[in-house]
Structure 1
Amino acid sequence: MSDNSALQDPFREIRPYRDSEVSEVLNGLLYNDEFIRAIARYQFPRLAGVCGFLVRPLVRMGLARAVGDVETIRDFQQLVAKYMSKMIARTTTRLSCSGLEQLDPDEAYLFVSNHRDIAMDPAFVNWMLYKADMNTVRIAIGDNLLRKPYVSDLMRLNKSFIVNRSAKGREMMTALNQLSAYIDHSIAEGESIWIAQREGRAKDGNDRTDPAILKMFYMAQRKKRSFSEAIERLNIVPVSIAYEFDPCDRAKAKELYARASAGSYEKAQYEDINSIVAGITGQKGHVHVAFGAPIRGQFESPEELSAFIDREIIGHYHLHPSNLIAAGEGDEVTAEQRAAFEARMEGLSDGEREIMRQMYANPVINKRRLEAEAV
């Protein structure tokens, strides 16, 4: 990229695609053999291997028909919405929401969310906004999930932007400054952002905001305004997403037990991709998305703001029967609900079962502690 084009489009390497780029990107995906093979394996797992040479052309033609009328990012997201609707019907027993009435459809917000599922957390936030006729968000996604070019293309078509986690040293500071500037730029031009409150999922059920994320928000503004002024400008809204059942709970319990018992855990090559697929296709029970009020007031430091966001996310977290059972507060739950929760732990070792139970109990423990502090 030339210096001149970099000045004209300083976020080109990380930003979502634009409407003018959609047709070219989709055409590239249709002729990406690795992408077509991946779709064929997902849709026709038994046939894709032996009869792959027959299945792949059919998959390519089917995709070409599906995206034939897609010319803009909005068109693409409306196509995604059709699949999202089917996924919700198949994998949730109920989907509920609270707090949207506190938001202005004409405003842009920086949604800082707890993080339990790689793909579904921002997807459920987007769904709630979409159903309320509000603009969907631009989604922060780590480059560790984008090792495949076709995955990066799909995410950027769905308004995702890239967080460069692999950068080191001076490159990291440059990447963080660029990310900070892009978030500020997005809010200023009326585009909302979704970002997790910390790097990586809260696999143990403890939702905690990393002050380093909040420091990054301020980096691009530090020469122009105070920390408190910058936070006011960004229009931060805490979001708390609660799954009755986490489709990746067993995998998380096994990983955490391996780290506790062996001191380390080695990820498989495609583990993140498998987690994304499991999160999309797995049973979730009741899912609740709680939007907090836009944050106002004086905050002198990232640590002070971090503590406030934690209180908001924990306070708005919807406790499901699975959480109450795990925390020993299941007096009001049914025998059926208790059996469903216990069934999820079948086949796990005692250590893994205890970690999984704690994972579901921690939101209750944290909420009760918050309630006690407020008395």
Structure 2
Amino acid sequence: MSEQDLFADIRPYNDNEVAPAIQRLIADEEFIQAILHYRFPHMPGVIGSVAAPLLRFILKRKLAKLKSVQDVQRQVATFMNKMIETTSKEITFSGLELLDPKKSYLFLSNHRDIAMDPALVNWCLHQKGFATVRIAIGDNLLRKPCATELMKLNKSFIVKRGAKGPREMLKNFSQLSAYIKHSLDENHSVWIAQKEGRAKDGNDVTDPAILKMFYMQGKKQGTDFATYMAELNIVPVCLSYEYDPCDTDKIKELWQKKTVGHYQKSEFEDIDTIIKGIVGFKGRIHVAFSAPVTSIPAEPDDLAKLIDQQIWQNYRLFPINYLAAGIQDSSIDEVAVEQWQNRLMAVPDGAHDLLTQLYAAPVAKKQ
């Protein structure tokens, strides 16, 4: 069995798989209906039955030209440029001068938004002539066939989270570890979040379990932890959003867990969150790339702390962060105060401290 076959169930699509995947997408009724519902949420069903064939015709004309992974990436770049123009005030980035466009890196970032975090990393890399990354994405986001098609077209590989027991979990993580190393060896950079799930409370910390997963392939090869991890070219990345489009949703989830004891997601909540994160206003955004980690400690916990320090020191603080932290700063103006008050009013009274923590956390971490 070839290496490629070993990863067939988790890897992104190759060039020869792009056109068939696009055809399947266009033929997918749920995909078509999702687009129509998003663009025209109040459209009567009768009109929708007429609009669906028209949308398919438009998509065929627009997407038929996409024949390779690179073609898809260029299309995504065009979309990203329009999205940034309409949903952000400005985007800045730093640290790419520390990296070599000819090398592959394992970008390990804080995680605030499901789709935008890796998309923004890719946009910054693209601006400076770097190749875009392969993106780790949890299988909980791929409940619909059309979601799987879209993600695998956009260089995403699957992190299997629904293991039924320790043996299956070990097998899944071993495959994932091997695939990440295989990608880096083939000169494909990789993006993965520093822990499973978004930091809904603003507490960006690296889960040592992620680092242990990286090392599984090294352990299998008989390489010690520090040596193997150095080979991965780990680059800590800090994404700073002035405004989080999903902030009130995150707080309502935390509040319900606090007051009721549990929170049950709706069937399409993850997809709705992805859309909200993409189209919602984000204000100013900064993406900070650190230099690759070279002095690797012998223990995963110590490496996690080292990565955290690099992420925290690269936070870009905005007026809303200072307001949440109760700190006076010259950058605070009436607009910032109004934005902060609007957000406070959007969550339950008892949940104000949770929202405050979300926006104040970067201030405390950076100190």
Q: Please say whether Structure 1 and Structure 2 have the same fold, judged by a TM-score greater than 0.5.
A: yes
Query: For residues 8 and 239 of structure 1, what CA distance do their matches in structure 2 show?
Result: 29
Aligned position for 1:294:
292
Aligned position for 1:328:
326
Aligned position for 1:371:
none
Quote the offset at 1:48 in angstroms: 5.8
Change (3 A) 1:98 1:171: same
Structure 2 counterpart SS, 1:22: helix
Moved more, 255-264 or 201-210: 255-264
Query: For residues 45 and 75 of structure 1, what CA distance do their matches in structure 2 show?
Result: 30
Alignment of 1:206-355 (within 5 A): 206-224=203-221, 225-332=223-330, 333-355=332-354
Deviations 1:207-255 (A, max 9, x none): 0000000000000111321101111110000000010000000001111
Contact 2:107/2:234 (CA < 8 Å) preserved in 1? yes
Contact 1:112/1:197 (CA < 8 Å) preserved in 2? yes
Identity %: 50
Structure 2 counterpart SS, 1:202: coil
Q: Do structure 1's residue 121 and structure 2's residue 117 form an aligned pair?
A: yes
Quote the offset at 1:267 in angstroms: 1.2
Change (3 A) 1:22 1:347: closer
Moved more, 94-103 or 351-360: 351-360
TM-score, length of structure 1 as denominator length:
0.95
Deviations 1:40-97 (A, max 9, x none): 1112222263411111011111111111210001101111111111111110001010
Query: For residues 130 and 139 of structure 1, what CA distance do their matches in structure 2 show?
Result: 15
Aligned position for 2:191:
194
Query: For residues 217 and 201 of structure 1, what CA distance do their matches in structure 2 show?
Result: 20
Aligned position for 1:130:
126
Contact 2:296/2:303 (CA < 8 Å) preserved in 1? no
Unaligned 5+ segments in structure 1 are 369-375
Query: For residues 178 and 309 of structure 1, what CA distance do their matches in structure 2 show?
Result: 24
Query: For residues 26 and 259 of structure 1, what CA distance do their matches in structure 2 show?
Result: 40
Aligned position for 2:89:
93
Query: CA-atom RMSD, angstroms?
Result: 1.2
**For 2:10, which of 9, 14, 18 is the aligned residue?**
14
Contact 2:344/2:352 (CA < 8 Å) preserved in 1? yes
Change (3 A) 1:189 1:348: same
Query: For residues 247 and 142 of structure 1, what CA distance do their matches in structure 2 show?
Result: 21
Letter in 2 for 1:228: A
- Structure 1: which 4+ aligned runs deviate by more than 4 Å? none
Unaligned 5+ segments in structure 2 are none
Query: For residues 49 and 330 of structure 1, what CA distance do their matches in structure 2 show?
Result: 53
Alignment of 1:351-362 (within 5 A): 351-362=350-361
Q: Do structure 1's residue 158 and structure 2's residue 157 form an aligned pair?
A: no
Structure 1 counterpart SS, 2:89: strand
Quote the offset at 1:344 in angstroms: 2.0
Aligned position for 1:171:
168
Letter in 2 for 1:179: L
Aligned position for 1:28:
24
Change (3 A) 1:367 1:40: same
Contact 2:241/2:284 (CA < 8 Å) preserved in 1? yes
Change (3 A) 1:349 1:298: closer
TM-score, length of structure 2 as denominator length:
0.97
Structure 1 counterpart SS, 2:235: strand
Aligned position for 1:373:
none
Q: Do structure 1's residue 65 and structure 2's residue 64 form an aligned pair?
A: no
Query: For residues 275 and 8 of structure 1, what CA distance do their matches in structure 2 show?
Result: 32
The alignment of Structure 1 onto Structure 2 pairs a total of residues equal to 364
Query: For residues 184 and 165 of structure 1, what CA distance do their matches in structure 2 show?
Result: 19
Aligned position for 1:372:
none
Query: For residues 101 and 159 of structure 1, what CA distance do their matches in structure 2 show?
Result: 24
Query: For residues 113 and 209 of structure 2, what CA distance do their matches in structure 1 show?
Result: 21
Letter in 2 for 1:178: Q
Aligned position for 1:104:
100
Aligned position for 2:141:
145
Letter in 1 for 2:226: S
Letter in 2 for 1:218: Y
Contact 1:48/1:55 (CA < 8 Å) preserved in 2? no
Contact 2:72/2:154 (CA < 8 Å) preserved in 1? yes
